[in-house]
Structures are given as structure tokens and as C-alpha cells.
Amino acid sequence: MGIKSEEEKKDQLAKGYRYQTNSCDECHTRHSFSKKEAQDPRACQQCHMGYDHPQWEMWSSSKHGTRWFTKEAGRLPEDAAAPTCQTCHLPNGTHENRTAWGFLGVRLPLPEDKQWAADRVTILKALGVLHPETGEPTDRLELITSVDMVRTTQEAWQVERDKMINTCSQCHSKSYATTQLELGDSMLQKADRVMAQAIEIVADLYKDGIIKKPEAYAFAYPDFLYFMQTGGGDMENLSSIDQTLFELYMKHRMRTYQGQFHVNPDYAYWYGWAMMTQGLGKIQAEAKKLRTLHELKKK
């Protein structure tokens, strides 16, 4: 985060990357340019809330958030632990805000578990990072690595995981912190299984000519990153089942694993996992209807 030249902003926007173009005065607002203001978790609320990243809602309704509000109201001692967004994501004044799993919830290398590896490959194809037919890397991989959206090595991932464990260990035991973060990994693995099933159903509809490829798509395959780049601006030109799939990835999968990492079970389960399984059911039902109509038209 922070100051970027107009040329740097232009370069990122040209690549279709809408984030990391923020300036210092979005947190340290103008005139006062206050460090205390930027350290208040409410400084994060304007951007980190809503559809695809409700981190404010997750944190503020978690135990961490409720302790902070209780402490601010004077009902807890001044030295009581009450982690803010900045405590965990901007420790010691760093402005990186980098996490092990990143915003997209994907990483390389692939996991040892064969099913999870296959599921992640499917998701990477739907992000346009891997070619849907050959499985080879595309230019998109260079794009998301150039703006640091994913960790592409085990070492890079482990560095960020260790940083977070050290941060958590300020209040918790290291073993407890490790276990909680591993639960987040496990939740992401389960979410990826549902996500991959949904992607494969829609991908087969493209393959069989039942739904047509939008002109902007590079491949006849779901393309999540294209709609992230356009800010969802072309959603009205997308098939209904594709829109359901996009919502499954950008809204419900995000809530599933981000809710778990923010230790907010209500978000992880009811706003995330339960809605993922419901979305998969919708996609299965709509795909069946589309196939039936397709067969009737051929008669």
C-alpha cells in the first residue's frame, strides 16, 4: 500500500488489476494525515467490507472485534488483548498486508493430496492461469505473480504463515495458533472440492456447446479473473449458470475460508459453506435443465 506514481498505477490498471492502486491518504485521510486514525480498525472498513471481502464484518463480529469494541467502551483494562486489523495484517507498521493464501485463496506448488491438487488445478483453469485443455501456464500467471496476488513457492507461503503464527503467538500459544490456521487450510480444501465440482459442470456445458463462450473469453471455459478485472461490469452478458458459478467463487468461497481464518464460525459456515453447497445444488439443477432443453431442440 502507499504512494505510487501515475505511471505505476496506469501499468497496473492496464493489466486489469484494480487493487493496490490505493494511496496513503485513503487510511491517513487528508488535512490531519493521522497515524492514530490509520491505526483504528474503522480505517479499514470502507474498502474491506461487502460482497467479495467482508473482512470488516468478519472481524467486528468475531471475538477479536467484540473485545476491541468492549475495550474501547472502557469495559476491559487498557492492557487487555484486543487485536485489530492492523495488529495482524500490518504488524510493526509494515504496509505489505500480505497473507499466505492471498486474496484468491490459491497457491503453488500443488498439494500432495491428489484430490485437492486436482481441485486446485480446476480452479486455476477457471482463473485463466492454466490452459483449460493442456494445463500449461498462461500469461495470466505472470499477471497475478507480478502484482503479488499469490504465493508461487512453498517457501514464500511458509514465510507468510510463520509471520502470522508469530503475530498470533503474542496472545496465544504457538501450538494453538498453528492449529487454528491449519483449520483454515482444511476449510479451504473442503471449499475447493465443492468449487471444482461446480466449475466442471459448467465447463462441460461449454464443451458440449450448450452454453456459448462470451467474445471476451480466451477459452470456452469459466473465467473468474476476467470478471474480477472488469469489476463484474459484464455480468449481464453472462449466462445465468455462469453468474451463479461466479457468485459461488467470489462471494461464498471467500466467506468460507476467510471466515475461518478470522475465527468467525458463523461467517465460515452459514454465509460461506452452507451457501456453497446450496449454490452447487442450483448449478446441478440448472445444468440438468439446460441439457434437457438442448436435447429437445435437437429432436
Cα–Cα dist 276/166, whole Å: 32
Instruction: Give the gyration radius of the chain's Cα atoms.
Output: 21
**b/e map 178-206, b = 16+ CB within 10 Å:** bebbeebbebbbbbbebbbebbbbbbebb
Neighbouring-strand partners of residue 107: 151
Q: Which of 179, 163, 153, 140 is closest to 17 using CA atoms?
A: 140
Neighbouring-strand partners of residue 137: 130
Gap between the terminal Cα atoms of the chain: 58
Q: Which of 116, 55, 120, 114 is closest to 90 using CA atoms?
A: 55
Per-residue pLDDT, 202: 97
Per-residue pLDDT, 233: 54
Per-residue pLDDT, 217: 84
Show pLDDT as tens, one digit a residue, over the chain (299 residues). Answer: 666 677 877 777 776 666 666 778 888 888 888 999 999 999 999 889 988 889 999 999 999 999 999 999 999 999 999 999 999 999 988 888 889 999 899 999 999 999 999 999 999 999 999 999 999 999 888 888 877 889 999 999 999 999 999 999 999 999 999 999 999 999 999 999 999 999 999 999 999 999 998 887 889 999 998 766 655 556 667 889 999 999 999 999 999 999 999 999 999 999 999 999 999 999 999 999 999 999 998 87
